[in-house]
Structure 1
Amino acid sequence: MTGNTQYKTLVNEWLKCKRPMVAASTYANFVLISENHLVPYFGKRKISLITESEIQHFILHLHLNGRTDGRGGLKLKTIRDIILVLRLSLVFAYKEKLTQPLNWELIEYPKDTTNRKIVSLSKDEEQELIQSIYLKLNRKTAGILIALMTGVRIGELCGLKMKDISLAEKTLAVNRTVQRIYNKQKQKSYINVGLPKTSSSVRTIPLPSLLVNIVRKFYTENPEHYFLTGKTTPTEPRTYRQFFFRFLKRNNLKQVKFHEIRHTFAVRCIEIPDFDIKSLSEILGHKNVSFTLNVYGSANLKQKIRCMNLLNDLL
């Protein structure tokens, strides 16, 4: 390859090099972004001629008309994900001494107008959900309770095996996740059981004693059994989401996404004064405390009220 190499050739070479270095889901996402957005826009462009100005125009295109179905622009997070792949591939070109480095600090993004309010269950709604679980307690509903009491992601819950649970130590280890991954080249998807989202997602979570008693009811001695199925094959997140939706509907409970169960766990923890944010961050598997604060720092209105009322002593 040279500086006159077309971008589509570069990105394909970069993908080949990247494949053994990243998770299967990450690689699949890189391929989708490349084929859906980067190659259609930059594909025939010589890599040495791609400039900061051209990338800026690309961002504007994504913002206004980036959807592949032609129905308008993309969200800021999606745009940033696309530009990240572009950046990684062009940095690869620079390392291979094919191009000069670009000044990525010149790149600007549209203003983020997304409403970032965290959606979670109230205490009353959470209690209604727990009562419905107890009335229809089985392996699958116990899974909802595990998520509600530990904040595990749905893929992590689907990947939970008996060998990850210690009834004696009252802990749950997150060692894998289940995902359905779309293979763009083969035009089909497949179930992948792999490592969790990030290195910080591999973690051990202490379990409340009452939850241990529930888990014990469905515990089997086969270490390779998945908790949700009681078999050596897992259920996939899409199937479990459908079960969760039907369970909420049958019991006239508030309709929420399964990920909002994770939010509910985090919000409840923040509401407890003695539950420190560092412990919460590690239990959630976040990369650092700052990320946890950015996501949930504005969720606890009651704590803000208590803090502001402390000012009464000054009056």
Structure 2
Amino acid sequence: MIAETRLSGIVALWKEDKKQYVKRSTFAAYTLLIENHILPVFGETTLVEEQDVQTFVFRKLNEGLSHKTIKDILIVLKMILRFGVKNQMMEYRQIDIKFPTERNNHSIDILSRSHQKQIMEYIQSHFTFKNLGIYICLSAGMRIGEICALTWDDLDVENGIIHVQKTIQRIYIVGESRKHTEVILDTPKTKNSIREIPMTKDLLKMLRPIKKIVNGCFYVLTNEPTPTEPRTYRNYYKQFMQSLGLPSMKFHGLRHSFATRCIESKCDYKTVSVLLGHSNISTTLNLYVHPNLEQKKKCMEQMSRLLR
């Protein structure tokens, strides 16, 4: 006999179990989705039906949530439901959700080549540690949390390698009494994100003299034993772009710009994927590989030539 348990009760037990297996940042992300979206709608129910979830999805779309965010919520909801079924706290129900077709292509922020060149030349003649971080991002495609966590020891000028092995992020903690945020130093996003990135000659030229005089344990962006956090560095970057009179663009656009320049330089896609620390090549292909009309014409010409 299956005991009818409210979803809020199943969530509490699921969280206790899940906490043992996932990173603190992942657990915090799950908790936030549960508190903000899942419990307010399903918390008091003892049986979650497919139609209820489909209605929930349409409501969230109308509220302006992206497909990705809603899919993230559904992943967490389904994990909780599976846990409830496995522990005989609720009945099994097949849930197969449909999303309306997304008609608008989401374009990504990318610097033009001339703007990228302008930024890199400006930093070469206006060196600061925070500016260096922007230069490294454009030269290596690192994420903001990875840059904030970078120490001088991670920059190996002897072998010309950047070792990416940690990240800094601010996570939301939903406690018993209050919600608050904490900054944590952690391993990167996935195991593929722990990687080695070769330095460009220009970056190496900039780093060699500095490496002789800095403390290896200090953080690159501050040149101090304490790091700066992504939120603070984002604000600095925003002011930096304004000071150069450049169009505003998310910090992540620096990573997109690096990847795009690699693809434009005819680097093979697998190598670009590994440099970016993507968990699979399809992420890289979907984001950055969009053949233009010239490439399509060339492809058609090659195909027809083969048939002649």
What one-letter code is carried by the residue in structure 2 that aligns with 1:305? Answer: E
Q: 2:263 aligns to what?
A: 270
1:149 equivalent to 2:139? Answer: yes
Deviations 1:114-150 (A, max 9, x none): 4321220111111111122122112111111100011
Deviations 1:191-245 (A, max 9, x none): 1111111111111111112211212343355332111111121100111111111
What one-letter code is carried by the residue in structure 2 that aligns with 1:124? Answer: S
Contact 2:108/2:256 (<8 A) preserved = yes
TM-superposed CA distance for 1:100, in Å, is 4.1
Q: Normalised by the size of structure 2, how large is the TM-score? A: 0.91
Contact 2:162/2:197 (<8 A) preserved = yes
Alignment of 1:1-315 (within 5 A): 3-46=3-46, 49-64=47-62, 72-104=63-95, 106-185=96-175, 186-219=178-211, 222-273=215-266, 275-298=267-290, 301=292, 305-306=294-295, 308-309=297-298, 311=300
Q: Give, in whole Å, the separation in 1 of the partners of 2:269 and 2:54.
A: 38
TM-superposed CA distance for 1:312, in Å, is 5.2
What one-letter code is carried by the residue in structure 2 that aligns with 1:280? Answer: V
Deviations 1:37-69 (A, max 9, x none): 1111111111xx2222221122122222xxxxx
Identity value in percent: 35
Q: Give, in whole Å, the separation in 1 of the partners of 2:148 and 2:248.
A: 21
Contact 1:147/1:261 (<8 A) preserved = yes
For the residue of structure 2 that corresponds to 1:77, the secondary structure is: helix
Q: Give, in whole Å, the separation in 2 of the partners of 1:51 and 1:187.
A: 31
Q: Give, in whole Å, the separation in 1 of the partners of 2:236 and 2:217.
A: 23
Contact 1:139/1:218 (<8 A) preserved = no
**Given the superposition, is the C-alpha separation of residues 312 and 5 from structure 1 closer, same or farther in structure 2, using an over 3 Å criterion?**
closer
TM-superposed CA distance for 1:103, in Å, is 2.3
Contact 2:5/2:90 (<8 A) preserved = no
Q: Which ranges of 4 or more aligned residues in structure 1 deviate by more than 6 Å?
A: none
For the residue of structure 2 that corresponds to 1:180, the secondary structure is: strand
For the residue of structure 2 that corresponds to 1:200, the secondary structure is: helix
**Given the superposition, is the C-alpha separation of residues 58 and 311 from structure 1 closer, same or farther in structure 2, using an over 3 Å criterion?**
closer
C-alpha RMSD over aligned residues: 2.0
Q: Give, in whole Å, the separation in 2 of the partners of 1:163 and 1:102.
A: 52
TM-superposed CA distance for 1:283, in Å, is 0.5
Q: Give, in whole Å, the separation in 2 of the partners of 1:311 and 1:9.
A: 59
Q: Give, in whole Å, the separation in 2 of the partners of 1:55 and 1:43.
A: 13
Q: Normalised by the size of structure 1, how large is the TM-score? A: 0.89
For the residue of structure 2 that corresponds to 1:291, the secondary structure is: helix
Deviations 1:73-100 (A, max 9, x none): 3221111111111011111112223334
Contact 1:156/1:178 (<8 A) preserved = yes
Deviations 1:139-165 (A, max 9, x none): 111111100011000000000112222
For the residue of structure 2 that corresponds to 1:218, the secondary structure is: helix
For the residue of structure 2 that corresponds to 1:245, the secondary structure is: helix
The unaligned stretches of length 5 or more in structure 2 are: none
For the residue of structure 1 that corresponds to 2:225, the secondary structure is: coil
For the residue of structure 1 that corresponds to 2:34, the secondary structure is: helix
My pick for the range that moved more, 32-41 or 95-104, is 95-104
The unaligned stretches of length 5 or more in structure 1 are: 65-71
Contact 1:159/1:176 (<8 A) preserved = yes
Q: Give, in whole Å, the separation in 2 of the partners of 1:312 and 1:113.
A: 30
Q: Give, in whole Å, the separation in 2 of the partners of 1:306 and 1:87.
A: 42
What one-letter code is carried by the residue in structure 2 that aligns with 1:264? Answer: S
My pick for the range that moved more, 119-128 or 92-101, is 92-101
For the residue of structure 2 that corresponds to 1:20, the secondary structure is: coil
